[in-house]
Copies of this chain bind each other. A is one copy, B any other.
Amino acid sequence: MIEYPSDVTLVEMLPRDGFQRLDEFVPTDEKVEIIDALSETGVDEIEITSFTHPKAVPTLRDADEVAQRIERHDDVTYRALVPNAVGMERAIDAGVDKVNALVTVSETYSEHNQNMTVEEILTGVEEIVEMAEGTGIEVEAGMGTSFYCPYEGRIPMEDTLSVVDRVVDAGVDEVTLATTMGLADPVEIEEMYTTVFDRHPDLDAGLHLHDTNGMSLANTLVAMQCGVDRFDASHCGLGGGVVLPDGLGGVGNTPTEDLVQMLTRMDLETNADFERVESVAHEVADRLDIGATSHVLMGGTVDRVLATVAEDNA
């Protein structure tokens, strides 16, 4: 029998990866309401915003206010992306539970996305880890372009592993490899995680999934078989890098509702409640008027299909 983790942790990316990617600024009230709804779905962790310079990501310019106004649930970890020490200061002031110290493996992407070299970013991670000491704030490192870069193409696995090593040396014990372009395949995922766990057997290594090539649920299965038990996803699949052209329609995240449906159907342990996840996905799609961007939103569940057929035959 194929073995999967006994318990899977889910991280919701919509409020950061999704809101950042939309052309229009989602009003702060609406952001807060949506995050509050997400808090009721049973996801373990929510990346609520990014403490980036407001000019760099204007759609998230209300980061501090969002962090202040959301209702915090005891069983949810509220985290924020921090690109540097300045962002970390704001995160500390905002009292988040955790930060995502974003690192990018590709030198070209780092320049475009953060206007920094990879070395500068890694120095920033060291600072963030130091600043976190004594605050009770956890630090995890998201590793952008771990597999493909939109400018450089395939990233050599050694480059990604070197950056993982550096981040671990800096004192981070939780990293999340990101398929930023959504182009990784199951064999690349398996090679990567097998090697990462060989080098760092105790590392908490998660997977941040985009779904450009449609392989993200297959990648999830393979990653779970390698021992990965933490996944980032976004309701309605909403998300993508801010430096990517709008024409790149497919670079959404894995829809949380599709991922949770699969894990639930497989009887794997998660804290998420599929029906609530499904319902919030419909609510978000309606509010943001984004159409049916996931299989669940298109009605791809047993209950919906049977109900549609029954109605048609009535």
Interface residues of A (CB under 8 A from B): 1-2, 148, 150-151, 153-154, 181-183, 185-188, 190, 194, 211-215, 217-218, 220-222, 225, 244-245, 247-251, 258, 261-262, 265-267, 292, 294-296, 298-302, 305-306, 308-313
Instruction: State how many angstroms separate the Cβ of A217 from the closest Cβ of chain B.
Output: 4
Bound state CA distance, A100 and B50, in angstroms? 55
Instruction: State how many angstroms separate the Cβ of A261 from the closest Cβ of chain B.
Output: 6
Question: Which listed residue (B217, B261, B292, B296) contacts A217, Cβ 8 A?
Answer: B217
A248 — which chain B residues lie within 8 A by C-beta? 299, 305, 308-309
- A-B CB proximity, top 10 nearest: A214-B295, A245-B312, A185-B265, A150-B309, A250-B298, A217-B218, A212-B300, A213-B300, A250-B300, A218-B218
The complex is assembled from copies of this chain, and their number is 2
Bound state CA distance, A265 and B186, in angstroms? 9
A295 — which chain B residues lie within 8 A by C-beta? 211-214, 250
Instruction: State how many angstroms separate the Cβ of A210 from the closest Cβ of chain B.
Output: 10
Question: Contacts A187-B265, A221-B186, A302-B148 hold; do A245 and B308 have CB atoms under 8 A apart?
Answer: yes
Bound state CA distance, A250 and B244, in angstroms? 28
A187-B266 in contact (CB<8A): yes
Interface centre among A222, A248, A258 (most CB of B within 10 A): A248
B258-A214 in contact (CB<8A): yes
A258 — which chain B residues lie within 8 A by C-beta? 213-214
Question: Contacts A2-B190, A309-B244 hold; do A298 and B249 have CB atoms under 8 A apart?
Answer: yes
Bound state CA distance, A218 and B295, in angstroms? 14
A220 — which chain B residues lie within 8 A by C-beta? 218
Bound state CA distance, A281 and B95, in angstroms? 51
